[in-house]
Amino acid sequence: MYLFLSAMFGIVFSNNLMWIYFFWEITTLCSFLLIGYKNDKASQESAFRALIMNLLEELCSLSALSICTIPPRSWN
Q: Does pTM top 0.85 for this prediction?
A: no
Q: 75 pLDDT exceeds 60?
A: no
In the Cβ-directed half-sphere of 29, how many Cα atoms lie within 13 Å?
10
Distances (CA, A) of 42 to 22, 36, 45, 46, 47: 29, 9, 5, 6, 9
- Looking at every residue in the chain, the average pLDDT score rounds to 87
Q: Place 23 in a pLDDT band, splitting at 50, 70 and 90.
A: very high
45-73 confidence digits (pLDDT tens): 999 999 999 889 989 988 988 888 877 76
